[in-house]
Amino acid sequence: HPFGLCSSTFPIMEAQGSEASEVLAEMREVMARKPGPVGAVDDEVPPLPTPLRMRRSLSPVSPSSRSGAADSGSRAGASACKAKEVTQLEVSAPIRPSKMVGLVAGIVLLAVAVWLKPQHGGYKPSTAEEGFGHGVSNRTVATVEQEPEAKPKLASLVAESLACPGRRGDILDVLAGAPYEFGHDLENDQDAFYRYPRLAASVAKGKADEAGGAAENELKKAVLGLAATGAGWAPGLRLRVLEALHAPCEAAETCGGAHPLALEVDEDFTSPLAKSHWLHQGLLDFGALFGFPHLKARASLFRSRPPTVVLSSSPASPAIAASRDCLAVRGSNTSLALRMTGGVATVRQLVIEQPPRWAALRPKSLPRHFSVYGTPAEAFNVGGSAPYTELLGNFEYLPARSAVQAFLLPRPAQVKGLRLLFEGPGWGENYTCIYRVKAYEGSGSVCSGHRVAAAAPRSD
C-alpha cells in the first residue's frame, strides 16, 4: 500500500466504529505534511497520540521491526503488515459470517457423504472374495478348515504297528540289525552298540512281569524317536523304521498263495561246507566219541549243515537259529547252485530268509553282496563246463530290514538252474550262514509264516 498500511487494515477500522474517522484524519495529516518517501514518514513526523497508535504500541511487534519494515521497501513492509494482521485478527477480529456459512455447509456435506456411503458404496465383496483381492483394501484372513486326518498320528501308528505280528517282527528286525549296518562308529561303545539288539530280544521273549512292561514302553519310545527324528542315527535307519511301520499287518492279507518253485541242490557248483579249525574239530569229535553230550552238541554247532537245508519248507524260526540249522560257507566268492526239478522254469524273484535278528547267534555272518546267474533254457552242458553263464542281477541283503527279503530280477528269466555267488567278507565274519532260499515265478508279494518278504532294491 502506498501509505505503508495493509489492505486488510481498512476492514478492521470499519469494524471499530468511531475510530475510523480518527484513522482517516491521521492519513490526511501525513499526506499534507510530507509527500516524500514512504519509508521516512515514521522517522521524521512525530506520531500523534491517537487511540489507534496507543494500541499499536501495545502490540507484540516491536517499533524497531515496524521501522525496519518501512526502511526496507515495500516487500519488507508487506511482511510486517502481514504479521500485524495476524496479531490483530487473533486479538479482536471476529469470524466473517460468509466464512461461517461456508464452514457449516462443508460439515453438513461431509456428514451427508458419510451417511450415504454404507448404503450406496457400490460393490461389496463377499466373505470368500475378501481373502483374494478385487481392489478391496480391508481384507479378512481366510479361514482354512482342517481336513480330517487321513492317517493316524505317529504315536498311534507306532502303537498300532507294535500290536500287529507282521509289522512288529519287521520293527524288531530293524532295531536288532541297526548297529551292524549303521553303527560302525559305535563298536567301541558296547552299551550303545548292543542297546537296540538287547531291547529287541527282551521284548521278543514276551515277559509279562514288570520288567517286560518297562521294556515294552522303552521299545515304543525308541521306535517313536527313530521314526520322528532319527534319534541321532543315519537317515537310512529312520527310513527303514518308517518302512516297517507301513508294512502289511498280516501275511494272509497280502500274499495270494504263491508257491515256490521246486528246486534241488547242484553240489558240483556249491562251495564246500565251512567248519572250524581241524584241531578244534578234532577235540570236539574226540569228546563226542566218548559220549560227552555237551561236547557232541558243540561239535555240531561248529559244523555246517548239508546244502539241502536251504530248501526246507519250515520257516527260519528262533529255534532253527539256536541250532544253527544253516548252510555255512567260508571265504569270499562262495556259491550255492540250485537246479529246477522240472527242467525249465521262469524265475521272477528270489527270497532269502534268515531267523529273526534278535535270535541270531552270529548276526555278522549274514549274507551281503551276491550275484545271481542262470543256466539259459537252450544251453547244453558240454564237457563239464560251468552252466551258469547268464547274469540275472546283483543284490544286497541288509541287516536293518526284515529277515525275509525278496529280490526281484530285472526281467523274467527262463532258466534250468540258478547259482548264487556271495562276494566279499559279508558283515564282519569270515563265513556266511544261509538258512532258506526260495525262487518264485511271479512278482507279487510272498510270505513265510506271518511275515511278508520285504522287497529289497538291487545294488546295481
| Strands of 331-452, DSSP E | 334-340, 345-353, 369-376, 390-396, 404-422, 431-434, 436-440, 447-448, 451-452
- What distance in Å separates the CA atoms of residue 96 and residue 100, rounded to the nearest whole number? 6
Judge contact between 436 and 336, C-beta under 8 A: no
Judge contact between 381 and 449, C-beta under 8 A: no
Q: What is the pLDDT of residue 449?
A: 73
For the chain, which ranges sit under pLDDT 70?
A: 1-101, 112-152, 207-211, 252-253, 256, 275-302, 381-385, 458-460
Neighbours of 327 (CB within 10 A): 25
Q: Full-prediction pTM beyond 0.85?
A: no
Q: What is the pLDDT of residue 46?
A: 54
For 18-27, how does the pLDDT look when each residue is reduced to its tens digit (9 = 90+)? 555 665 666 6
For 64-75, how does the pLDDT look when each residue is reduced to its tens digit (9 = 90+)? 444 444 444 444
Q: Burial-class residue 211 by CB neighbours within 10 Å (0-12, 13-18, 19+).
A: exposed
Beta strand pairing call for 369-376 and 390-396: antiparallel
Judge contact between 391 and 373, C-beta under 8 A: yes
Judge contact between 444 and 394, C-beta under 8 A: no
Distances (CA, A) of 294 to 299, 302, 324, 360: 9, 13, 16, 21
Q: What is the pLDDT of residue 139?
A: 39
The DSSP secondary structure of 323-338, one letter per residue, reads TT-SEEEESSSEEEEE
Q: What is the pLDDT of residue 251?
A: 72
For 141-188, how does the pLDDT look when each residue is reduced to its tens digit (9 = 90+)? 444 444 444 445 999 999 999 999 899 999 999 999 999 999 988 888
329: which 3 cell numbers? 560257507
Q: What is the pLDDT of residue 298?
A: 63
